[in-house]
Amino acid sequence: MTEALIDPVVFNPYDYHFHDDPYPTYKRLREESPLYHNPDVGFWALSRYADVVDGFKDNKRLSSANGVSLDPAAYGPHAHYVMSFLAMDDPRHMRLRQLVSRGFTPRRVAELDGRILELTKQHLVPALGAGEFDWITEVAGKLPMDVISELMGVPEPDRAELRRKADLVVHREAGVLDVPQPAVEASISLMGYYKEMIAQRRRSRTDDLTSALLDAEIDGDKLSDQEILGFMFLMVVAGNETTTKLLGNALYWGSHHREQITPVLDDPERASEWVEETLRYDTSSQIVARTSVVDLEYHGRTIPAGEKVLLLIGSANRDADVFEDADSFQIGRSSSGKLASFGGGVHFCLGAHLAKLEAKIALAEFGRRVSDYEVDESGIERVHSTNVRGFAALPVKVQVR
Q: For binding to ligand HEM (CB under 6 A), which residues are involved?
A: 56, 64, 68, 85-86, 97, 148, 234-235, 238-239, 242-243, 246, 283-285, 288, 341-343, 347, 349-351, 354-355
Name which of 20, 24, 1, 19 is nearest 9 in CA terms: 24
Q: How far is the CB of 82 from ligand HEM (least distance, A)?
A: 12
Q: How far is the CB of 388 from ligand HEM (least distance, A)?
A: 9
CA dist 311 and 26 (Å) reads: 11
- Residue nearer to ligand HEM on the CB measure, 52 or 265: 52
CA distances from 135 to 113, 372, 401 (A): 21, 14, 18
**103 Cβ contact partners less than 8 Å away, ≥ 6 residues apart:** 209, 212, 213, 215, 216
Name which of 172, 132, 83 is nearest 397 in CA terms: 132
- Residue nearer to ligand HEM on the CB measure, 27 or 80: 80
Q: How far is the CB of 68 from ligand HEM (least distance, A)?
A: 4
- Residue nearer to ligand HEM on the CB measure, 243 or 315: 243
Q: How far is the CB of 261 from ligand HEM (least distance, A)?
A: 19
Q: How far is the CB of 136 from ligand HEM (least distance, A)?
A: 14
- Residue nearer to ligand HEM on the CB measure, 57 or 121: 57
- Residue nearer to ligand HEM on the CB measure, 92 or 256: 92
By Cβ distance, which residue is nearest to ligand HEM?
351
- Residue nearer to ligand HEM on the CB measure, 148 or 380: 148
- Residue nearer to ligand HEM on the CB measure, 28 or 347: 347
- Residue nearer to ligand HEM on the CB measure, 82 or 128: 82
The 10 Å Cβ neighbour count of residue 208 is: 18
Residue 127 exposure: Cα atoms within 13 Å on the Cβ side: 23
- Residue nearer to ligand HEM on the CB measure, 9 or 146: 146
**How do 370-375 and 296-298 pair as beta strands?**
unpaired
CA dist 55 and 61 (Å) reads: 9
- Residue nearer to ligand HEM on the CB measure, 28 or 242: 242
CA dist 118 and 186 (Å) reads: 28
- Residue nearer to ligand HEM on the CB measure, 28 or 276: 276
- Is there a contact between 275 and 250 (Cβ–Cβ < 8 Å)? yes
**How do 43-46 and 308-312 pair as beta strands?**
parallel
3-state secondary structure of 178: coil
CA dist 131 and 126 (Å) reads: 10
112-150 CB burial, b ≥16 within 10 A, e <16 = beeebeebbeebbeebbeeeebbbbebbbbbbbbbbbbb
CA dist 42 and 66 (Å) reads: 14
CA distances from 376 to 84, 373, 383, 392, 393 (A): 39, 10, 17, 14, 10
Length of the chain: 401
Task: Calculate ∠ Cα 69-82-391, nearest 5°.
Answer: 55
Q: How far is the CB of 105 from ligand HEM (least distance, A)?
A: 13
Q: How far is the CB of 243 from ligand HEM (least distance, A)?
A: 4
The 10 Å Cβ neighbour count of residue 28 is: 19
Q: How far is the CB of 231 from ligand HEM (least distance, A)?
A: 7
Strand boundaries in 141-286, DSSP class E? 217-218, 221-222
CA dist 365 and 392 (Å) reads: 22
